[in-house]
Amino acid sequence: MILGTLSRYFLKRYAITVFWFLIGVAAIIFLIDFSEVSGRYSDAKGSSLLGVMLLTLMRLPLILQQTIPFIALFAGMTALIALNRRSELVIARAAGISVWQFMFPFLLGAFLLGVGSSVILNPLAAIGQQLALSQEAKWGDSGSMSNNEVPWIRQITGKDDTIIGASSVLEKGTLLTQPVFIHFDSDGRIAYRQDASTAKLQDGYWVLNDVIETRPGQKPLDLASVKVRTNLKQEFLQERLAQPDTVAFYDLSNKIAVAHSFGISTKRLETQFHSLISMPFLLVAMTLIAATVSLKFSRFNQSRTVILGGIISGFVLYVTTVLVKAFGSSGVVPPFVATWSPVIVAMALGATILLHQEDG
């Protein structure tokens, strides 16, 4: 009875701490991103203050999702240090409650936070990212839009060999913004290049709008619309050009299966899928790290060195997770190993340190 009441109390304290951290971090992200977006699109045609605010809100869930591990770390440290300063953890120990018993509500809270991040925040982030890309494409004529991951595909239709690139992909792979079509002749040399504002996939051809066609030794031609034959299908493009950040957690397994049927590499999607599944356990590992530097009793002040060590340890774990995830996305390491190995090692290390500190 006492343990149940105490567990609910600790879980409530942890939940309140997490809530205020989420509000604070979201507000900071909004202000910083609003400043960056407003500066980038201040001169874009059709942009407005309300539009910039809406675009910032669309981008907010994706950025917030990336901060969840740090929120779990700092919320765990804050809640445990606050309980320690009021001697509540000392009283719990004096009542014969072990560290694992009073840590269970915090670990449960971290696990539920991870589940919420994967099944609620991630779909919101995917939808918001799709809407944000669409809005950025409308404002893209300002020349300020950039994308570090430019998709490139190759199509061979009859004797026409073409490489296609674009700054972004919209409408499930049927609309390319700022596309580039590079055509090759039979000898493998560049025949001509077409730069357009948009390219829309129709049945058997691309429709390019506002085209600048450049041929070697000739002046560029400005064309209102051009049709380019293609044998590419919408389903193939949708899987080939899919970005993991724009795919919700519920759709990832289906995306992976469809991509396999087309013979497309699914390393990035699989890495994203396992990353979302492992998120609750990553937050549990972060909470264990927080516990290793927060459970030592100190009536007035915790050791700054110990707290700094906990922050650095959490940061190292996060960087390692991101780095190994990149290896998984590129195929260097199997996605399952890339996402789960840092989490398992961190959980084992945190549990070992707690066992040594509390049980000798």
pLDDT tens column, 201-241:
887 788 998 899 998 888 888 888 888 888 777 667 666 66
Q: For residue 286, give both structure tokens.
A: 């972060």
Q: For residue 166, give both structure tokens.
A: 């674009």
| Statement to judge: residues 166 and 219 lie in one domain | yes
- Is position 321 within any domain? yes
Top-confidence residue, 352 or 26: 26
Range of the domain at 70: 2-140+262-359
- Is position 161 within any domain? yes
Residue range 301-319: mean pLDDT, rounded? 73
| Statement to judge: residues 132 and 30 lie in one domain | yes
Question: Measuring CA to CA, which residue among 149, 121, 11, 8 is closest to residue 61?
Answer: 121
- Is position 254 within any domain? no
d(Cα 317, Cα 286) in Å, to the nearest integer? 8
d(Cα 33, Cα 54) in Å, to the nearest integer? 11
Alpha helices in the chain (DSSP H): 2-40, 49-85, 88-94, 99-116, 122-138, 234-240, 249-261, 267-292, 304-330, 335-359
pTM of structure: 0.77
d(Cα 298, Cα 170) in Å, to the nearest integer? 55
* Confidence label for 145 from pLDDT (cuts 50, 70 and 90): very low
Residue 341 has pLDDT above 60, yes or no: yes
For the chain, how many structural domains are there in total?
Answer: 2
- Is position 282 within any domain? yes
| Statement to judge: residues 269 and 230 lie in one domain | no
d(Cα 181, Cα 356) in Å, to the nearest integer? 62
Residue 147 has pLDDT above 70, yes or no: no
| Statement to judge: residues 12 and 85 lie in one domain | yes
Question: Measuring CA to CA, which residue among 208, 145, 136 is closest to residue 170?
Answer: 136
- Is position 245 within any domain? no
User: Would you say 171 and 242 are in contact if contact means Cβ atoms under 8 Å apart?
Assistant: no
40: helix, strand or coil: helix
| Statement to judge: residues 269 and 130 lie in one domain | yes
> In the listed set 240, 275, 294, which residue is the last one of a domain according to the structure?
240
For residue 172, what pLDDT is reported? 63
205: helix, strand or coil: strand
- Is position 246 within any domain? no
